[in-house]
């Protein structure tokens, strides 16, 4: 069920009557529960109990209007035109390929409105809008996936308005084209109002509001020497090392978190450019869309690296990321800022590898800290040779005595 609200009031004689209308649009067949409605006044709370309705079919070519009583034909009715506007907007008129274009469709109405209207067939109208906007050369990312409208308030020329967003999506053009979106419309129920012997009466009538079409120019990126996909947008980087200081021959992890407004499929990874470091593995950790008004994607990568000798290593000399900066309209490069210090003689190759096994890593860490220095190894070899020589001499003496 998709729910919308309409608030209005009427005044009859010396008494004032307040009415609250809730209009539910069925989306699927089956039983649907309607929650209780409560109205709080100064002296009392009035509550309408919950109830259940059964939706028999979703097939309908025309909106179902309230039943018309025979006596309504004798009543003079006048349409009360609601003060509402329909807008379909884009955040840009020109863009580059692979860049997000934010499309929003919304209804604008004065906050202090007193002319009622009701939403009808919102889910069907939304699908029609999507088909008009759809372009085979663009990827689409839907923002509003729930059945409820997102609402906001804003001021225009000092007047307060209620903004109800019914369509919220990002499109990502994959090639340089002109995106032409035709004129769009949205319809609601307005009401014909009249009076008779029984009081004020209303009769629903379909009311359509329209907005003009628009065109968006999508431009190609400037030429680039290498033939590969270059992401476009604004990019930010954070990076850190699991260990900033390690023994020569040990491995460590470099984690890079990349945040951007680019098409997720074009983000890619960092290029490894070092000959002094061994890249042992690359892991894609996560990629998620960040909730907010603007389009943001966060991607996390992890690289296992093993320096080949002692010294100081700048990670900017080992990794780089090329992209097209849509702000400066030039190609730019990102580098990690971490610095790795490597000390001591190189450990044996069997102890150089890091794994995800904590016990193994702890064991290799302990053994690496207990390695014999070169002089101790030489002394051990001399002692071993001396013992062997003594054993040979003793054996020879025993043989001679026999």
Contact 200, 160 (CB under 8 A): no
Residue found under tokens 């400066």 = 328
Dump the DSSP string for 254-315: EEEEEEESS-GGG---PEE--SSEEEEEEEEEEEEEEPSSS-EEEEEEEEEEEESSSEEEEG
Exposed e or buried b for every residue in 238-271, given b needs 16+ CB within 10 A?
Answer: ebebeeeebbbbbbbbbbbbbebbbbbebbbebe
As a whole number of angstroms, the distance between CA 162 and CA 31 comes to 32
With tokens 């000959």, the residue in question is: 275
Kindly report, residue by residue over 5-56, the tens digit of the pLDDT: 333 334 444 455 555 556 566 667 888 888 887 777 767 787 888 888 888 7
pTM of the model: 0.64
Condensed to tens digits (0 to 9), the pLDDT of residues 182-227 reads 999 999 998 887 776 556 667 788 999 999 999 999 999 998 887 7
Residues 350-363 pLDDT 10s:
444 444 444 445 44
Strand 214-219, strand 94-96: pairing: parallel
Query: 245-279 pLDDT, tens per residue?
Result: 999 989 999 999 999 999 888 999 999 999 999 99
- Select from 112, 85, 72, 83 the least CA-distant residue to 193: 72
């Amino acid at each position: 069920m998709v729910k919308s609200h309409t608030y209005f009031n009427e005044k009859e004689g010396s008494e004032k009557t307040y009415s609250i209308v809730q209009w539910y649009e069925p989306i699927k067949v089956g039983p649907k529960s309607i929650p209780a409605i409560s109205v709080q006044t100064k002296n009392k709370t009035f509550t309408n109990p919950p109830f259940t309705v059964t939706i028999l079919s979703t097939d309908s070519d025309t909106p179902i209007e309230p039943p018309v009583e025979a006596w309504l034909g004798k009543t003079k009715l006048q349409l009360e035109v609601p003060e509402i506007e329909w807008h379909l907007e884009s955040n840009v008129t020109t863009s580059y390929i692979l860049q997000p274009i934010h499309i929003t469709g919304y209804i604008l109405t004065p906050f202090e409105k007193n002319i009622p209207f009701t939403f009808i067939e919102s889910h069907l109208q939304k699908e029609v809008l999507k088909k008009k906007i759809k372009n085979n050369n663009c990827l689409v990312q839907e923002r509003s996936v729930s059945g409820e409208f997102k609402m906001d308030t804003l001021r225009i020329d000092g007047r307060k308005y209620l903004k109800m967003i019914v369509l919220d999506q990002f499109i990502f053009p994959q090639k340089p084209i002109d995106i032409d979106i035709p004129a769009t419309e949205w319809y609601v129920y307005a009401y014909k109002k009249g009076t008779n012997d029984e009081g004020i009466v209303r009769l629903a009538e379909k009311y359509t509001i329209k907005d003009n079409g628009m065109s968006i120019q999508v431009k190609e990126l400037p030429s680039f020497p290498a033939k590969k996909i270059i992401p476009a947008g604004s990019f930010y980087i954070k990076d850190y090392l699991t260990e900033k200081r390690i023994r020569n021959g040990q491995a460590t992890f470099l984690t890079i978190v990349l945040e951007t407004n680019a098409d997720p499929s074009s983000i890619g990874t960092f290029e490894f450019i070092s000959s002094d470091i061994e890249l042992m593995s690359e892991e894609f950790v996560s990629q998620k869309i960040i909730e907010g008004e603007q389009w943001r994607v966060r991607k996390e990568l992890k690289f296992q690296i093993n320096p080949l000798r002692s010294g100081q290593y700048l990670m900017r000399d080992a990794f780089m990321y090329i992209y097209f900066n849509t702000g400066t309209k030039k190609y730019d490069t990102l580098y990690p800022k971490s610095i790795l210090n490597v000390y001591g003689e190189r450990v044996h190759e069997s102890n150089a590898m890091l794994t995800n096994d904590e016990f193994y890593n702890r064991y290799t860490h302990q053994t690496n800290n207990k390695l014999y220095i070169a002089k101790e190894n030489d002394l051990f070899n001399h002692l071993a040779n001396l013992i062997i020589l003594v054993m040979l001499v003793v054996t020879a003496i025993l043989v001679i005595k026999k």
